Amino acid sequence: IAGITQAPTSQILAAGRRMTLRCTQDMRHNAMYWYRQDLGLGLRLIHYSNTAGTTGKGEVPDGYSVSRANTDDFPLTLASAVPSQTSVYFCASSPARVPGANVLTFGAGSRLTVL
Amino acid sequence: GQQVMQIPQYQHVQEGEDFTTYCNSSTTLSNIQWYKQRPGGHPVFLIQLVKSGEVKKQKRLTFQFGEAKKNSSLHITATQTTDVGTYFCAGTPNAGNMLTFGGGTRLMVKP
């Protein structure tokens, strides 16, 4: 079934550790995104990529980095995790190169707890 | 920056009652999208509105885009337990290209 695969599904992490959340899509979508979801705050954009080889900062990029080496993969890295990064992380993709110009397909999410 | 506000944050209804969630933007939007997230799930696209004053229906769900393209609403007629979840609006400003999500309205339906 075509879609987005995220890994891990959940993770408990000690503060200060490095963590990479993986995201792979098989729909050949141009644009990919990382959101974090916190209660009462909805979905906030961390980083995005309009097309392979390019990335951009979203609303809450501090403490996170991304790369887009190819069309399918868009990993999110926390260089040194802090408790405020405890959240549910969703990867999403859309066909369009221009964010907002098309519909988002979301992955199942990765629940991260930083202690 | 652009802000998208949604009210109410939570809503409890008795099964069969109607439900409405409202979305308001601080800036004019080129389009607005609505998503539904079931408990424990991920957001799933419902619909996109692009025209001023546009109204679209999906069975018991009615979506409206305001004349000024700064607000939108989702109305569910005769709620069912399957409607439980969080409904998000998301808008793209005219002057930019980033989709901004509202905080969501969590709907709970008592059978």
State pLDDT tens for residues B9-47.
Answer: 999 999 999 999 999 999 999 999 999 999 999 999 999
Pairing mode of beta strands A10-13, A110-114: parallel
Pairing mode of beta strands B29-37, B85-93: antiparallel
In sequence order, the β-bridge partners of residue B98 are: none
In sequence order, the β-bridge partners of residue A21 are: A76
A106 vs B42, B100, B103: nearest CB: B42
Residue B3's pLDDT is 86
Which residues of chain A have a CB within 8 Å of the CB of B33?
103-104
Closest Cα partner for A37 from A105, A101, A88? Answer: A88
Are the Cβ atoms of A99 and B42 closer than 8 angstroms? Answer: no
Are the Cβ atoms of B44 and A106 closer than 8 angstroms? Answer: yes
Q: Is the peptide bond before B43 cis (omega within 30 degrees of 0)?
A: no
Which residues of chain B have a CB within 8 Å of the CB of A107?
42
Phi, psi (rounded to 5 degrees) for B56: -130, 150
Looking at residues B60-86, what average pLDDT do you find? 97
A3 vs B61: CA distance, rounded Å? 26
A contact set with B (CB within 8 A): 35, 40-45, 48, 58-59, 90, 98-101, 103-109
Residue type, B34: W
Percent of chain A with pLDDT over 70: 95
